[in-house]
Amino acid sequence: MIIELGHFALILALAVAMLQAGLSLTGAARSDPNLMAAGRLAALAQFALIALAFATLIHAYFVSDFSVANVAENSSTTKPLLYKLTSVWGNHEGSMVLWVLILALYGAAVAWFGDAMPPRLCARVLGVKALIAIGFLVFILLTSNPFLRLSPAAENGMGLNPILQDPGLAFHPPFLYLGYVGNSVAFAFAVAALIEGRVDAAWARWVRPWTLASWCCLTLGIAMGSWWAYYTLGWGGWWFWDPVENASLMPWLAGTALLHSAIVVERRDTLKSWTVLLAILTFSLSLVGTFLVRSGVLTSVHAFALDPRRGVFILVLLFIAIGGSLALYAWRAPALEPGGIFAPVSREGALLLNNLILASCCATVFIGTLYPLFLDAVGGPKLSVGYPFFDRTFVPLMIPLLIAIGIGPLLAWKRGDLLGALQRLWAAFAAVIVAMLIALYLSHGGPVLSVLGIGLAAWMGAAALVEFADRVRLFRAPWAEVARRALTQPRASYGMTLAHFGLAVTVAGIAASGFQQQSIALVHLGDALPVAGYTLRFDGIGKHEGVNYTADRAEFTLLSGSRVVGQLAPERRFFPLQQQTVSKTAIHTNFFADFYLALGDPDGKGGWAVRAYWKPLVPFIWIGGVIMAFGGAVSLSDRRWRVGIAARRAVKGALPAGRSRA
């Protein structure tokens, strides 16, 4: 009965979404405040209904109701409670409901904070969002309905893929979707602006917090996914250039570009049509990612069950959403007036460089990901391009961006002083040399590229700090003055420093992967395996019973000389329900280096294959991601986004450029 309630709520949500689209768009066209207010109510109602539908689905998983086909196919009674609940989004149908739930959540948030915005802009944004919701609700109800009953009910469920039964993966999809789907807000703003034919500083100021919020979630989501791959897949890799990983990276690159170009629109009232295009493309890339994952067009380890009917349906949705918005763009964007002009060397110029490079990187990933599809169409051989392609294209493209990131924030608007900026960065140059010397010394002359990479990371990190010190006039003003300035800096500028510093931390982690040491060996009880100056002693192996698996658990002691550093217990878990073996790696970390151990197959004569790695600075990759997301959150808390201030400015209309920040 409860699951039928959820089904009904979802159908009702579709009706409400249709109502929301009609009311909001007509209301905006006629400037009718009553219709527009009703549209905002509909957005809240739509969220409440989808939340109800989602809650019934969670309930079905909670009580293991195997008369529901979706539950029977993806859950089982022998599973820990956490994974029963996270299985809701571990499958195609359930994850689509989560997708529309988040879409509606953002819609409701726009409606809730809508008082601060011009009512017509708010109504158009909600109208566009409702159109997207209609498309995906119809998709769920017609091709991917999780509320269908199974008759007769199954005895027990088929369970969740064991590799997905992991806390890291349990919370990775919600964050990823919060990121993906959050981009729909910027998209809706862009389409609304094209309909109105007006983009100004005020528009950019409303778009930016939404973009920032989804960017933070996407950053965390990608970092979590990469961390999960690192400790689960057992090879110590953290990024595989898999189509599905790339599908999340592309909106992130485009979204990062959008964050930066929106600053230019806000402050200088220029780059308008480019920013609108970026907003459209960012969400389009999220949609394309959804299509790639769920259509089976590309082979991927992450792909959901293949169903051509679904693929065609999503393609039609893509065609309407992306094709429609780009057609609107082609028609209306030329009317957006170009704004202030600027010299190539200026803050605007630096942000434009950032955009050009990020867009090129995004295009590279796009081509690399879809290459098999393109090549096959012209009759070429079937192959997929892996990390060699991306290493040779993506990485060289990123390097100029990473160098420029240190200089850009020091340039003035309109016309900057490059030489002056470089002079102020003398401390960063010094940091580069010191960091490279330390890296060379510690790695005994390790790989050149890694040493240079560490230098690059030091440059970015030091430059971010120098820029901040410059702003608070550290060492140049009395301490009281410095403290006053530090306290009155806008949160957004703290956010930028944190985000840029976080990126430096991540780059350091990536660069240091060249220093890793590994040992792959067959070990017997009592053997000592030397790895990177440490010794790994094989103390024992035994059987271990989990809730829904049995495991071989090995006990190792990590020694430095004769001092015990830690205990590691890698496992090979066998899940009888799915007849699948999953490796559970053991990691000993001190946040500066990981000791990573994976248990392989036994040779049947008492020997066990093990893969042991020493990975310096690898935790920095994810710590940097968290710092970046935290920087975004700090920036999001800046007072200029707050409702009251935005509202007062909205009344006054667009401000002259360049006055909005302290």
Partner 1 sequence: MTWRRALYFLPLVAFLALAAYFLRGLAPGYDPQVLPSVLIDKPAPTFDLAGLKSATPLTNRDFAGEIVFVNFFASWCAPCRGESPVLMDLSRRNVIQLYGIDYKDKPEDAIKFLQEFGDPYRRIGVDESGRTAINFGVYGVPETYAIDRAGRIRWRHVGPLTTQVVQTEIMPLLKRLGAS
Residue from 603, 637, 644, 653 touching partner 1 (CB under 8 A): that is 603
CA dihedral over 635, 429, 261, 244, signed as positive or negative: negative
Toward partner 1, which CB reaches closer, 241 or 622? 241
Closest distance of CB 131 from partner 1, Å: 18
Beta bridge partners of 573: 551, 582
The residues near 126 (Cβ < 8 Å, ≥ 6 apart) are 20, 24, 39, 40, 42, 43, 107, 110, 111, 114, 188
Site for partner 1 in 383-422 (CB under 8 A): none
CA dihedral over 100, 105, 111, 116, signed as positive or negative: negative
Residue from 88, 333, 598, 621 touching partner 1 (CB under 8 A): that is 333
Measured between alpha carbons, how far is 232 from 618 in angstroms, rounded to an integer? Answer: 15
Site for partner 1 in 261-300 (CB under 8 A): 273, 277, 280-281, 284, 291, 295-299
Check residue 327 for interaction with partner 1 (CB under 8 A).
Answer: yes
Return the structure tokens found at 108: 């409701």
How many residues at the interface with partner 1, by CB under 8 A? Answer: 37
Closest distance of CB 481 from partner 1, Å: 49
The residues near 328 (Cβ < 8 Å, ≥ 6 apart) are 191, 194, 195
DSSP 447: -
The residues near 43 (Cβ < 8 Å, ≥ 6 apart) are 20, 104, 107, 108, 110, 111, 126, 129, 130
- Residue 539, classed as helix, strand or coil, is strand
Toward partner 1, which CB reaches closer, 396 or 576? 576
Check residue 337 for interaction with partner 1 (CB under 8 A).
Answer: no
Toward partner 1, which CB reaches closer, 40 or 611? 611
Check residue 373 for interaction with partner 1 (CB under 8 A).
Answer: yes
Residues in the chain: 662
Measured between alpha carbons, how far is 600 from 614 in angstroms, rounded to an integer? Answer: 17
Site for partner 1 in 223-242 (CB under 8 A): none
Toward partner 1, which CB reaches closer, 89 or 291? 291
Toward partner 1, which CB reaches closer, 320 or 448? 320
Toward partner 1, which CB reaches closer, 359 or 398? 359
Residue from 116, 326, 440, 655 touching partner 1 (CB under 8 A): that is 326
Beta bridge partners of 572: 552, 583
Residue from 337, 376, 391, 481 touching partner 1 (CB under 8 A): that is 376
Closest distance of CB 588 from partner 1, Å: 29
Toward partner 1, which CB reaches closer, 391 or 603? 603
Check residue 451 for interaction with partner 1 (CB under 8 A).
Answer: no
- Residue 389, classed as helix, strand or coil, is helix
Toward partner 1, which CB reaches closer, 12 or 328? 328
* Angle formed at CA 398 by CA 397 and CA 402, multiple of 5 degrees: 135
Measured between alpha carbons, how far is 298 from 242 in angstroms, rounded to an integer? Answer: 10
Toward partner 1, which CB reaches closer, 35 or 303? 303
Site for partner 1 in 560-579 (CB under 8 A): 579
Q: Which stretch binds partner 1 (CB under 8 A): 69-77, 128-136, 233-241, 308-316?
A: 308-316
Q: Are strands 550-560 and 571-575 parallel, antiparallel or unpaired?
A: antiparallel
Residue from 101, 188, 229, 322 touching partner 1 (CB under 8 A): that is 322
Please name the amino acid found at residue 304.
F
Closest distance of CB 292 from partner 1, Å: 9
Return the structure tokens found at 390: 């991306």
Q: Which stretch binds partner 1 (CB under 8 A): 256-264, 423-431, 438-446, 600-608?
A: 600-608
User: Closest Cα to residue 596, out of 169, 166, 168, 231?
Assistant: 231
- Residue 267, classed as helix, strand or coil, is helix
Toward partner 1, which CB reaches closer, 422 or 521? 521
Binding to partner 1 by CB under 8 A, coded x per residue (else -) over 476-495, reads: --------------------
Toward partner 1, which CB reaches closer, 382 or 659? 382
Toward partner 1, which CB reaches closer, 298 or 507? 298
Residue from 323, 380, 400, 530 touching partner 1 (CB under 8 A): that is 323
Measured between alpha carbons, how far is 208 from 202 in angstroms, rounded to an integer? Answer: 10
Check residue 318 for interaction with partner 1 (CB under 8 A).
Answer: yes
Q: For 179-194, b where at least 16 C-beta lie within 10 A, e where not — what string?
A: bbbbbbbbbbbbbbbb
Measured between alpha carbons, how far is 255 from 237 in angstroms, rounded to an integer? Answer: 25
Interface residues with partner 1 (CB under 8 A) are 273, 277, 280-281, 284, 291, 295-299, 308, 311-312, 315, 318-319, 322-323, 326-327, 329-330, 333-334, 370, 372-374, 376-377, 381-382, 579, 601, 603-604
